[in-house]
Homo-oligomer: A and B are copies of this chain.
Amino acid sequence: MIDPQSVPRFAGVATFMRRPHVYDLGETEADAAFLGVPFDDATSYRPGARFGPRSIREASTLLKPYNPETDTDLNEFTIVDHDDVPVVPGYIKDTFEAIEERIGTVLDHGVVPVLAGGDHSTTLPVLRAIAEKYGPVSLVQFDAHSDLWTEYFGRDHNHGTTIHYAIEEGLIDPETSIRIGERGGLYGPDDVERFEAAGIESYTATEATTLGLDAMGDRIGEIVDGPVFATIDIDSVDPAYAPGTGTPMPGGFTSREILTLTRQLHAVDLIGFDLVEVAPPYDDQSGSTAILAANVMFEALCAALESSTTNTNHDG
């Protein structure tokens, strides 16, 4: 591994956290693998998330390996950069197949998937692969939107329908899942009913912060059961902190709030996660969205690796 005090962080090929670039997971005993899912053709407003993995890689070169908040030292784990899924621009279902297959391979190697989208449609094939291994899992969703619509423009798959189909296909268990961060307008009062009927407990951004983030963490722990997959839509964060996204919605979390919320996942059996909807063409000059995304992924990665060291029975 590169020694950041002998090689500056701005130097060299930008892999995730400057970790080794590994095409074949069989070559190494990795604990976790960063994998990009550069697909954004199922977005309903602004595209650009296909460049999310590249921008997060670049921002991640600034990350340091030790987490003093949780006493997690990533130097004790083998983390690799597993490149990107070979998506098929313009072809949603072909891309879904490519994603499902590649995540399946990662899981077959017993490696924690650390995924960077891409738009939120890409979470559906990820969950297909997850469910193939684990059965229906608990989902923790940080998101400004429910993604529980049934169709867009007369077609089924889109970044706003992901969770609907994840439930319909039995990939997640709504009763042990939770959504945090929702806010903003809807298409009509029917939406409210449909979302409630879906069975996922939901906390708006205001409700979550009013309750308190520690209490929110406790509630997550109470609701989930068994293996947990976390899907973090960067638009759960306020556009002031994460302007580079496809459907920005004011009123979201601050950076400190999303980092604290993510850190709460240490208490659950986190088997993997994705962070989606970072759209670099809309990011600011400083790359603030990518930098925040990299830091959130760092917290989630710490949580997942701590889980994997204590809950090793998944692959047993």
Segment 30-80 of A: residues with Cβ below 8 Å from B: 36, 38, 40-48, 50-51, 53-54, 57-58, 62-68, 71, 73, 75
Whether B248 contacts A9 by the Cβ 8 Å rule is: no
Q: Contact between B248 and A286 (Cβ–Cβ < 8 Å)?
A: yes
Asked whether A184 lies within 8 Å of B64 as measured between CB atoms, the reply is: yes
Q: Give per-residue flags for A181-222: 1 if the beta carbon is below 8 A from chain B beta carbons, else 0.
A: 000111111011000000000000110000000000000000
Contact flags (1/0) for A270-288 with B, using CB distance below 8 Å? 0000000000011111101
The stretch from A125-133, A164-172, A249-257 touching chain B is A249-257
In the complex, A65→B191 CA distance in Å?
A: 11
- Which candidate, A85-93, A104-112, A135-143, A303-311, is the interface stretch facing chain B? A85-93
Contacts of A179 in B (CB 8 A): none
A226: Cβ under 8 A from any B Cβ: no
Are B282 and A286 in contact, with the CB atoms below 8 A? yes
A315 to B155, CA, bound (A): 37
Most buried by B among A10, A40, A47, A54: A10
Residues of B within 8 A of A13 (CB): 13-15, 21, 57, 81, 83-84
| Majority-rule SS of A interface residues | loop
The answer to whether the Cβ of A295 comes within 8 Å of any Cβ in the partner chain is yes
Interface flags, A157-182, vs B, CB<8A=1, else 0: 11000000000000000000000000
Query: Is A54 in contact with B14, judged by CB distance below 8 angstroms?
Result: yes
What separation, in Å, do the CA atoms of A169 and B301 have in the docked complex? 40
Q: How far is the CB of A125 from chain B (nearest CB, A)?
A: 14
Q: Which 4 A-B pairs have the closest CB atoms?
A: A64-B185, A243-B286, A47-B47, A250-B255
Mark A residues whose CB is within 8 Å of B.
Answer: 4-15, 21, 36, 38, 40-48, 50-51, 53-54, 57-58, 62-68, 71, 73, 75, 81, 83-92, 94, 121, 149, 151-155, 157-158, 184-189, 191-192, 205-206, 238-241, 243-245, 247-252, 254-256, 259-260, 281-286, 288, 291-292, 295, 298
